[in-house]
Amino acid sequence: MTIAQHFLGIDVGTGSARAGIFNAAGEMLASAKRDIAIFHEPGEIVEQSSNDIWRAICASVREALRVAKMQAGDIGGIGVDATCSLVVLGQGGAPLPVGPSEDPERNVIVWMDHRAIDQARRITSQGHDVLRYVGGTISPEMETPKLLWLKEHRPQVFDAAENFFDLADYLTWRMSGSLSRSSCTVTCKWTYIAHERRWDPTYFHAIGLGDLAEEGFRRIGTDIVAPGTRIGGLTPEAAKDLGLIPGTPIAAGLIDAHAGGVGTVGAIGRPEENMAYVFGTSSCTMTTTGDPAFVPGVWGPYYDAMLSGLWLNEGGQSAAGAAIDCLVALHPATIESRQRAAVLGLPLLSYLSRSARQQYDLASETVLLADGLHVVPEFLGNRAPFADPDARAVIAGLGMDQSELSLVALYVAGLTGIGYGLRQIIETQARHGAPVQRVVISGGAGQDELVRQLLADACGLPVIATEADEPVLLGAAILGALAADAYTTMTDAMAAMTRSSRAFQPAVGAIGDVHERRYRVFTALQAAARRS
């Protein structure tokens, strides 16, 4: 039987679902996107609907097929990635309400939902041994604090739930009917101990979720497989929804940031030399090592969570692209600048990057616009290396200038603040046995060339862009290629389907010295805020 040499990648981010069709060389032939609804409530509650997400996926897949002028049978395998959000399903897969709205369609607790911050603190205070593999601190963005919140605040929903899924695992279940979970999702967000291939029942008993252990962990997963493993094929119902052929191979999925890692770290050098930096609404950093590296404040080390046979350390920033959006929204010139950008057919941030570049001959010199202006952009806490969800942003050096140029300066200061946070993670990991030589970037917020250059300057390492315009989608498609047996290993697939395109080298000399001074100010402001 001939294997179809086109693969479908599906990516579900915070605000949209996307589908991309790739050939065996990693070239994207078509893509499509649909927005998904998101619901915010007081108390840092953020929810979504799994049915709404599924409808957005189906519409995206059908459109991508039309754009590519392909038949359903041309797709040889399907891979998915998604945010690490919690999906709650009751009898027969019916959605259950997870919040005060009582709307069963709102059955997804989004990754960025921080309702479980008290539960996370209590879990961390117990100091269980499994916390060694999450940098010593459990995050409210992980699933066990969210599950504990459900049990304590919505016990009837907790008890009625037949399955708790990470969103990527929900999608593969929806497509194939398989209850298999990815070792990526359950290891990184659920405390599964992948290198020992087990859950630790003592942890669940200690934190108040002992009933999950007593049930044999059936509601959170008993069949754990590596990303890219074929777990089944499309069911007739799912195939009808997607416009594809029943039986099309389905791969175990990835968290969205990890898909960005798969779609980038094999593009240059050895994967262990590279840090994957996925710069989207939040940012995630992924570093692979041959031996486990225990880094305080950085999640992991996780075994088999991204690349088979390697350990993974995962850091990042809880707000990255979202932090820049929040920052510029504070400035009075934003409304007028947005209107000017619209006239030019540009998004606001692209317009601000263009305005910054018009001031200097070299992109690196734009940091001079931010002279005296400093931003610690921790609007949603510090994910790494301090694992402090209570950390908050600091803006220092603002004057009374309300011009567009002062908005551009604030934008540049925010970008360098993101870069200094990245430098902190790089340096912390290096001190604990996980050094890297370069940063390979992906994510929607990281596609701008000025952003890439300022990140390189601020973190002090080369930032590598890849040929793929959509490396997260490509990472998902690589999973589909593995499920279709087009490649034998993840390493083989990455080598065949990913390539680097351009390196942004960090500034040296006078501009490098500027960043050294600014970095010292950044860390001082950050420390002062954490003491306050």
Last residue of a domain, one of 229, 255, 281: 255
CATH of the domain at 82: 3.30.420.40
Last residue of a domain, one of 234, 255, 276: 255
What is the pLDDT of the chain when averaged over all its residues?
96
Q: Note the pTM of the prediction, 2 decimals.
A: 0.88
Residues 140, 89, single domain; the answer is yes
Q: What percentage of the chain carries pLDDT values higher than 90? A: 92
pLDDT at res. 1: 45
Residues 484, 414, single domain; the answer is no
In a domain, 357, yes or no: yes
Each residue's pLDDT tens digit, 94-141: 999 999 999 999 999 999 999 999 999 999 999 999 999 988 889 999
Lowest pLDDT segment from 143-157, 299-313, 361-375, 505-519: 299-313
Residues 137, 189, single domain; the answer is yes
Q: What total of structural domains would you count in the chain?
A: 3
Residues 120, 250, single domain; the answer is yes
Each residue's pLDDT tens digit, 30-83: 999 999 999 999 989 999 999 999 999 999 999 999 999 999 999 999 999 999
Query: To 10 degrees, what angle do helices 509-531 and 449-459 make?
Result: 80
| 373 pLDDT above the threshold of 50 | yes
In a domain, 384, yes or no: no
Q: What is the DSSP letter of 87?
A: E
Each residue's pLDDT tens digit, 286-333: 999 999 999 998 999 999 999 988 999 999 998 999 999 999 999 999
Residues 122, 225, single domain; the answer is yes
In a domain, 124, yes or no: yes
Last residue of a domain, one of 237, 255, 273: 255
3-class state of residue 259 by DSSP: helix
pLDDT at res. 2: 55
In a domain, 411, yes or no: yes
Residues 305, 414, single domain; the answer is no
What would the mean pLDDT of 370-393 be, rounded to a whole number? Answer: 93
| 347 pLDDT above the threshold of 90 | yes
In a domain, 385, yes or no: no
Domain span at residue 84 reads: 6-255
Residues 132, 238, single domain; the answer is yes
Radius of gyration of the chain (CA): 22
In a domain, 391, yes or no: no
CA dihedral of 477, 479, 480, 484, whole degrees rounded to 10: 140
Top pLDDT among 363 and 280 is at 363
372 contact partners, CB below 8 Å, separation of at least 6: 397
Residues 299, 182, single domain; the answer is no
Residues 72, 134, single domain; the answer is yes
Quote the CA–CA distance of 42 and 91 in Å, as a whole number: 29
